[in-house]
C-alpha cells in the first residue's frame, strides 16, 4: 500500500509565461488534480463523497518553489495525506522531475462539508475513519504550513474586477485557481522580469459566484512580501493571500 | 508512416464549466497542443522552426461540436495536415472518445513567419518542402472551413478589458486561448444554461501585448449567431470571431 500518489504532468505551451516557465496558477491546478486523483485512488474521492452528500473543500494552499518547470518539461507531483483531524486534513506535495530534482513543495488543508447544510462534517465519519490508514509522515515537506495571514486596515484597493463564465467551476463557484491567477495579475510583466515567486499561500474563506465583483486589497508587509485580501460585495472576504518574491 | 497524430487528454475538473463539460477554451488549448506535438513528431515543430528563425503562426481556428467531453472523461484529438500552399497550411482535427464516438471536428490555418521580419515566408522552403509528404486527405472533416467573417459598423461595444500577466504567452503576445475565453465571457452563465456552442471560429489578425486594452464589439447576425470583433487601442483589429449556438 503506497501512501504517496505520483502523477506526471507537462508544462504545456499555453500554460507557460513569457519566461517559458509554468504559470503558478497552472502548477496549483496540477497539484489540486493530483490531490483529486490520489483521494479517488484511496477510495475517498469527490465522486464517492458526493454519493454520501459530502464534498471536499479546499481551505488553504501553500507552495514554495526553488524553480518552476520549464516549457515542455515533464514533472511529477507527489501527494500524500500528512495528517487528519476531525475537521480537517493536511495534504502535502512535492514537485520534482524524474531524476529526483525537486522544484518545490506544497501543503494544503481540506475540510469535508455536508452538501446540504454546507457545514463542516467529521472526517472520521467517512467510511469508518478510512483516512487514518492513509496518513504518511515519512516524505519530507520542509516548508512552513503557514498561519493566518495578518493584514492591517491600510491595505490599498488596487483593482475591482467582474467575474465571468470562465471564472466558474463545476460547483458553480469562482474557481480556486482563478483567484490565484487574479492575485498574480496584480503585478505586471516588468515586475516578473525581475522577481520570481518563492512562496505563495492562499486561504479560502467565502465562496463567490459569477457576477460578483471582486476587490483586491494589497499591502506590502516586507521587502518582497505582499499580502492580498479579496473581497466580494459587502466587503465579505473571500480569500487572503501572501506572496513572497525572490 | 501514419500521417494522423492522435493525442489523449482528459477533461480535468478545473477545465470544466458549471455543466461539468469541458470549456471550449480548454478544448482549443488541447487541439493546439495536439497540433504542436504532431508537427514536432513530423520534424517541423516549433523548436526546429525557431532554430531556422521561423515560427508557426495561427491564423484561423474553427471548431464544430456535437457535444463536449464530460468531466473526467478521456478523449482523443486526431490531427493531420490536410493541405499546404506556399503561404499557409490547413490542419484538421477530430475530437472523439476511444470507442470512436465523435464529439466534433476542427480545422485551422497556419502560416510560417520569419522571426526577424515578422513576415510570412514560403512553407515549402522549410526542409525542401517536407510538409508535402505529410498531407493526408483521407480522414473526413465534415465542417466548413469558414470564410472571412463579415461585420457591419453597427456592432455594439460590449466591454473593454485590461490585459494582465496571465494573458501573455511564451512569445510575449496575448495568448490565443485567452482571446477565446474573453469572447465566450461575453455571455453569462444563465445564457449557457440554455445555449450550447455548436460552432466557434476565430481569425487572428494582429498581436496584442500585456497592458493593451481590448475592446469587444458584438453583432447578432442570426437567430443564435453572433460575430465579435476584438480591437486594441487605435481600433486595430486583433481578432474576429463567429459564435453559433444550438
Distance CA(B38)–CA(B81), nearest Å, equals 9
Interface contacts (A, B; CB < 8 Å): 92
H or E element, residue B183: helix B176-184
Residue of A14, A46, A167 to mutate for B, most B C-beta atoms under 10 A: A14
Instruction: Give chain B positions within 8 Å (CB) of A185.
Output: 164-166
How many H-runs (helices) and E-runs (strands) does chain A carry?
4, 10
pLDDT of residue A1: 81
Residue keyed to cell 465579435:
B228
Q: How many CB atoms lie within 10 A of CB B1?
A: 6
What is the tens place of the pLDDT at every residue in B63-86?
999 999 999 999 999 999 999 999
Q: What is the pLDDT of residue B9?
A: 97
Residue ranges of chain B whose CB lies within 8 Å of a chain A CB: 12-14, 16-18, 20, 23, 25, 29, 32-33, 36, 46, 71, 164-166, 168-172, 175-177, 181, 184-185, 187-189, 192, 210-211
Give the residue from chain A lying closest to B24, CA to CA.
A166
Provide the 8-state DSSP code for B84.
E
Q: Which residues of A touch B (CB under 8 A)?
A: 12-14, 16-18, 20, 23, 25, 29, 32-33, 36, 46, 71, 164-166, 168-172, 175-177, 181, 184-185, 187-189, 192, 210-211
**Is the full-model pTM beyond 0.90?**
yes
Cross-chain residue pair B13–A23, CB shorter than 8 Å:
no
d(CA B215, CA A34): 37
Buried b (16+ CB within 10 A) or exposed e, B84-112: beeebbbbbbbbbeeeeeebbbbbbbbbb
In Å, how far are B14, B69, B147, B244, B246 from B198, measured between CA atoms? 22, 14, 17, 6, 5
Task: Going residue by residue through chain B, which has 246 residues, state the pLDDT in tens, using 9 for 90 and above.
Answer: 899 999 999 999 999 999 999 999 999 999 999 999 999 999 999 999 999 999 999 999 999 999 999 999 999 999 999 999 999 999 999 999 999 899 999 999 999 999 999 999 999 999 999 999 999 988 889 998 888 889 998 999 999 999 999 999 999 999 999 999 999 999 999 999 999 999 999 999 999 999 999 999 999 999 999 999 999 999 999 999 999 999
b/e A138-150 (16+ beta carbons within 10 angstroms → b): eeebebeebeebe
pLDDT of residue A148: 86
Strand-pairing partners, residue B156, are B218
Per-residue confidence in pLDDT tens, chain A, 246 aa: 899 999 999 999 999 999 999 999 999 999 999 999 999 999 999 999 999 999 999 999 999 999 999 999 999 999 999 999 999 999 999 999 999 899 999 999 999 999 999 999 999 999 999 999 999 988 889 998 888 889 998 999 999 999 999 999 999 999 999 999 999 999 999 999 999 999 999 999 999 999 999 999 999 999 999 999 999 999 999 999 999 999
From the CB of residue A86, how many other CB atoms can be counted at a distance below 10 Å?
12
Contact: B185, A170; criterion CB under 8 Å: no
Amino acid at each position: 500500500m503506497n501512501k504517496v500518489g505520483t502523477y506526471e504532468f507537462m508544462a504545456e505551451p499555453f500554460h507557460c509565461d513569457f519566461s517559458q516557465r509554468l504559470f503558478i496558477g497552472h502548477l496549483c491546478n496540477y497539484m489540486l488534480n493530483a490531490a483529486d486523483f490520489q483521494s479517488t485512488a484511496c477510495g475517498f474521492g469527490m465522486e464517492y463523497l458526493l454519493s454520501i452528500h459530502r464534498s471536499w473543500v479546499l481551505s488553504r494552499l501553500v507552495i514554495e518553489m526553488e524553480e518552476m518547470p520549464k516549457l515542455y518539461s515533464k514533472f511529477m507531483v507527489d501527494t500524500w495525506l500528512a495528517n487528519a483531524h476531525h475537521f480537517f486534513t493536511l495534504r502535502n506535495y512535492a514537485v520534482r522531475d524524474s531524476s529526483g530534482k525537486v522544484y518545490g513543495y506544497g501543503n494544503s488543508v481540506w475540510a469535508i462539508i455536508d452538501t446540504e447544510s454546507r457545514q463542516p462534517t467529521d472526517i472520521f465519519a467517512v467510511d469508518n475513519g478510512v483516512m487514518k490508514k492513509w496518513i504518511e509522515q515519512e516524505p519530507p515537506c520542509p516548508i512552513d504550513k503557514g498561519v493566518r495571514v495578518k493584514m492591517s486596515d491600510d491595505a490599498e484597493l488596487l483593482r475591482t474586477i467582474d467575474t465571468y463564465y470562465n471564472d466558474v467551476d463545476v460547483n458553480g463557484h469562482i474557481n480556486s485557481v482563478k483567484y490565484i491567477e487574479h492575485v498574480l495579475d496584480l503585478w505586471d510583466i516588468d515586475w516578473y522580469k525581475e522577481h520570481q515567486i518563492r512562496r505563495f499561500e492562499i486561504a479560502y474563506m467565502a465562496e463567490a459566484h459569477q457576477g460578483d465583483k471582486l476587490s483586491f486589497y494589497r499591502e506590502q508587509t516586507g521587502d518582497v512580501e505582499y499580502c492580498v485580501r479579496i473581497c466580494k460585495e459587502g466587503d465579505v472576504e473571500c480569500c487572503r493571500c501572501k506572496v513572497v518574491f525572490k
